Structure 1
């Protein structure tokens, strides 16, 4: 893709994000901008063009060598016509590489260029994952700040209630309640400072991928939708087949093709190398003025690997071992990705169980307990410590729920990375 077109596309995306969406940035928009703005992809396209050019150039014979000289020049008189062997020589030699080595070398460059698009797929998947994780960190910090600010009003109401009670009663307990209420508000402010620091840090890291990220709000879209049932119902065979389409696996497969060609290239060293030589010698007239015949020479030299066969054997065997090691790397990479998928599936299952526990039992119970403690305190049938502890527990549970939801979304993003190359991974 032309760099100018990339910049224009990125600017249009940024204009759409900032203007059309009133500075609301969805995850899918963030990923698209990051991929469009990634200079690595431009460099990869340039490397591909360079490799294709090398492939074309490698298919041609090496340049012939020309020589011009004077042979058998007498040193006693330096007379050009004195000796019949004295001549001006012009020659040319052309080397013909071994076997099909030119075609195979050209094929290697071509196969390397064909790897570049696969590498760009890997890069886009890595960018998507990196941006998704940072984007989710920022969203969690932002949502936590909003949650604490919403609950801070409740703690301020409790503090006002304590102040009102303290003005009517100077007991020791009321004084402790006043100190506790002020302390909790200070602790909430401290948590807000920490969260804003996290929010700023994650946004600053995102600016590496999205330079013009600005200060707009983030909005979660459908980019990370995947049900636990959809994940758990896959068999090991199906998972392996899906992950085998991952570009990192296809990249290794392409490396195997290159290694096959390199083995064939090494085998060409058993073939002879030919050099064709031709020269023309011009002789001047003799001392009496009689013309001399010019001379023409032609010959062929050949390099036959007779005494160095063990060296060729070793080189071919080394290339074969290298190819087999790449095949092993492919198997290891596939197993690692499959194991990662299974680990993520298990983690998502546990996170879903925690989400169900929080939503169905823990949060309703904490809310009910906090309301009961507050009502009891307002009717002088409870103490402030119980009220404040109940409200803190409820707030902590809501923050923990946000953390669990964010962690699940991160695991889904990692699953989408593993499914890159499939319909589900591309749809993300």
Structure 2
């Protein structure tokens, strides 16, 4: 039969019973052997490698490096005074002859003017750009943690779709064999097999085709979504690894998932998540607004300027020497007449700083709430996984073996054997969904806590 070549180990199972057992006994054993998973071909993309490639090829991280250097340069530039001003003029030139030596007031004047910063405005501006540069580094932390999470979620979608297709292959093999059996039984008039039984199996196969379409669509969409992090589509021959590497999700803990979960279980989220990069960005924004407040206050101080000029005069028409002139001066503006405007600017800066502080508390509350939800979800998924592994998987396997034994003893129908194996496939699919959801939840928790722990350790 054709499925011997599809499942090589089936031949070994069949040969054991070929001489001593009739084919109607060998067939159920064939169904069990067909549940052996097939190994994929081609290079496999692991979760850890997928995350590393995404971080290496992310254009935003590369762009942030330039932005950080730009703020550093702006901070250096803010430490300097404004450019000095040089002026040159020919003054008091007589209009009746335009001779420079005709009148004693005529002179060629060269002046130099230097404005001083208003109070400590330059210092506070310099500090503001330093804080903005620090903000870019924190944005890198946010981006890198976000990339790890998003790539992990996308990779898990790809993993689930691939494993789902493998389970559908098992289901299709079982239904195909059931269809062959029902066709044979109906044509030979064996048992109570009717044409309705054949139609039911065919309908199940048609429904299975729809599942295939959905699974392949999910697979292709996941690969396409994953390729956007690399700037090029993934190779068609590239496959996903056969299992989920939970340790790769918590790399900062050297792959120790239990240690990570124990730590976050004892953490107080409203305290720890204050050090999350997303929250720190609001703290840095508050510092920027604080510097803007300082700059607004400096606007109430006078701005000074000093100037010096040299006036050169030519000798008169009779050859008599004329003295040159040197002038010194100082300028100061008077901001006191615009006190209402200054007060309004200071108030606006103070309100913005207070708003940033409020945004920080809101962000911490939001992160802590997400952490609580994720911990509750992970606990529930872990309980479900334990239930499936401890009870449901074993029970369905025992049911499958019991139906097989009953069939070999002529006390059960082949339909019962196939349905028992189909139930086993369904339980395996449910367990696969639970594992993928647990991995996704762990990735969400890693996004919240791993950067927070790093920043907290740096602070300590």
TM-score clears 0.5: yes
* Aligned position for 1:338: 368
- Which residue, out of 203, 207, 210, partners 1:187? 207
Q: Secondary structure at 1:244's aligned position in 2?
A: helix
* Aligned position for 2:265: 234
Aligned length: 405
Q: Distance in 2 between matches of 1:37 and 1:283?
A: 69
The CA deviation at 1:273 is 0.4
Q: Secondary structure at 2:271's aligned position in 1?
A: helix
Contact 2:109/2:309, CA 8 A, preserved across alignment: yes
- Which residue, out of 233, 246, 250, partners 2:280? 250
For residues 220-275 of structure 1, the C-alpha deviation after alignment (integer angstroms, 9 at most, x for no partner) is 2222464599469835x622232222111222222222222222222111211011
Residues 76 and 324 of structure 1: CA distance in aligned 2, closer, same or farther (over 3 Å): same
TM-score normalized by the length of structure 1: 0.86
Matched, 1:133 2:157: no
Q: Distance in 1 between matches of 2:271 and 2:67?
A: 31
Alpha-carbon RMSD = 2.8
* Aligned position for 1:223: 248
The CA deviation at 1:355 is 2.2
Residues 424 and 97 of structure 1: CA distance in aligned 2, closer, same or farther (over 3 Å): closer
Comparing 169-178 and 50-59, the one that deviates more: 169-178
- Which residue, out of 421, 430, 434, partners 1:404? 434
* Aligned position for 1:159: 179
- Which residue, out of 48, 72, 75, partners 2:68? 48
Contact 2:85/2:114, CA 8 A, preserved across alignment: yes
Q: Secondary structure at 2:194's aligned position in 1?
A: helix
Q: Secondary structure at 1:306's aligned position in 2?
A: helix
* Aligned position for 1:8: none
* Aligned position for 2:289: 259
Q: Secondary structure at 1:97's aligned position in 2?
A: coil
* Aligned position for 1:120: 140
Contact 1:418/1:425, CA 8 A, preserved across alignment: no
Comparing 170-179 and 226-235, the one that deviates more: 226-235
Matched, 1:70 2:101: no
Q: Which runs of 5+ in 1 are unaligned?
A: 1-20
For residues 111-154 of structure 1, the C-alpha deviation after alignment (integer angstroms, 9 at most, x for no partner) is 21122211101100000000000000000001111112123222
Q: Which runs of 5+ in 2 are unaligned?
A: 1-40, 250-255
* 1:33-112 to 2 correspondences below 5 Å: 33-112=53-132
Contact 1:142/1:199, CA 8 A, preserved across alignment: yes
Q: Distance in 1 between matches of 2:208 and 2:263?
A: 40
* Aligned position for 1:305: 335
Q: Distance in 2 between matches of 1:350 and 1:424?
A: 28
